[in-house]
Amino acid sequence: MKVKVAILGCSGRMGRNLIQAAIEHKSVELVGGSVRAGSSFENFDLGEIAGIGAIGQKTTTDYKALLAADVLIDFTSIDATLEHLDWCQQHNKALVIGTTGFSEQQVATIKAAGNNIPVILAPNTSVGVNLLFKLLEVTAKAIGEHTDIEIFEAHHRFKKDAPSGTAVKMGQVIADTLGRDLNKVAVYGREGITAERSRETIGFATVRAGDIVGEHTAYFADIGERIELTHKASSRMTFALGAMRAAFWLSEAHAGFYDMQDVLGFKDN
């Protein structure tokens, strides 16, 4: 059976890819899509927004038009997502959140919503990136204590938050594996006379340029050798298709707070 999904924020870079992915995905049926109130894309054909030709379904600013959906998919902005989270709780709808940049307090709000509805918070919905998280855990366990760990990320010029949610999650996975508190060991950028690097720190470096879709590398560097684990996304469709997989998985889940590791079954072993 197909899961009925609606896309929130259809006119965005991810919104357009999500529409296309929902139309292409064999286990998903697209039943609606919203745009921001006052958007010039109100009442536009969803297929035309995605650049794949008219499909006879229009964007809306009225959430009531999305009630047919079992799962809503949200890659918008922090404020919009928190508003959508409230609506989903009021109407008992499952929600896949791809938006990034939430504060710890906002993440706590999203977690609490898991008491009422099924909700996934996924700062990166790519299957490859989530496999990378698993590889980071294995690598940190094997060599993390005696290597210098640094995380590099690069994204397009339009990205609003830094470091990326994925880079932060990579740091979190490594810190958790090594029993370190990321708030204490993270170093966000360096300048001037910084003194020697202390072993337990986890460094972050950010590039914002052009149309880079998303690149992440974790370095585990020793004297004489280093391991670099890299993921490069070349199309936003990878995130959009991962979000469809998440929506399908969430449609069968009980109320709770989940992530992509749950969706991909990486927590089972």
Which residues are at the interface with ligand NAP (CB under 6 A)?
Answer: 8-9, 11-15, 34-36, 39, 75-77, 80, 98-101, 122-125, 239
Concerning whether 216 is annotated as a catalytic residue, the answer is no
Residue appearing with tokens 């919104």: 15
Instruction: Name the token pair of 181.
Output: 């508190």
Backbone angles phi, psi at 156, to 5 degrees: -60, 160
Instruction: Name the token pair of 195.
Output: 């003194």
Q: Tell me how far, at minimum, the Cβ of 188 lies from ligand NAP, in Å.
A: 17
Q: Tell me how far, at minimum, the Cβ of 122 lies from ligand NAP, in Å.
A: 5
| 9/118 with CB nearer ligand NAP | 9
Concerning whether 159 is annotated as a catalytic residue, the answer is yes
| 70/259 with CB nearer ligand NAP | 259
215 strand-pairing partners: 154, 232
Backbone angles phi, psi at 151, to 5 degrees: -125, 130
Cα dihedral across residues 33, 39, 44, 49: positive or negative: negative
Catalytic, out of 25, 84, 93, 155: 155
Instruction: Name the token pair of 113.
Output: 């919503």
Q: Which residue of the chain is nearest ligand NAP when measured via CB? A: 12
Q: Tell me how far, at minimum, the Cβ of 151 lies from ligand NAP, in Å.
A: 17
Cα–Cα distance, 159 to 181 (Å, whole number)? 27
Instruction: Name the token pair of 33.
Output: 């899509």
Q: Tell me how far, at minimum, the Cβ of 119 lies from ligand NAP, in Å.
A: 14
| 68/142 with CB nearer ligand NAP | 68
| 36/180 with CB nearer ligand NAP | 36
205 strand-pairing partners: 152
Which residues does the annotation mark as catalytic? Answer: 155, 159
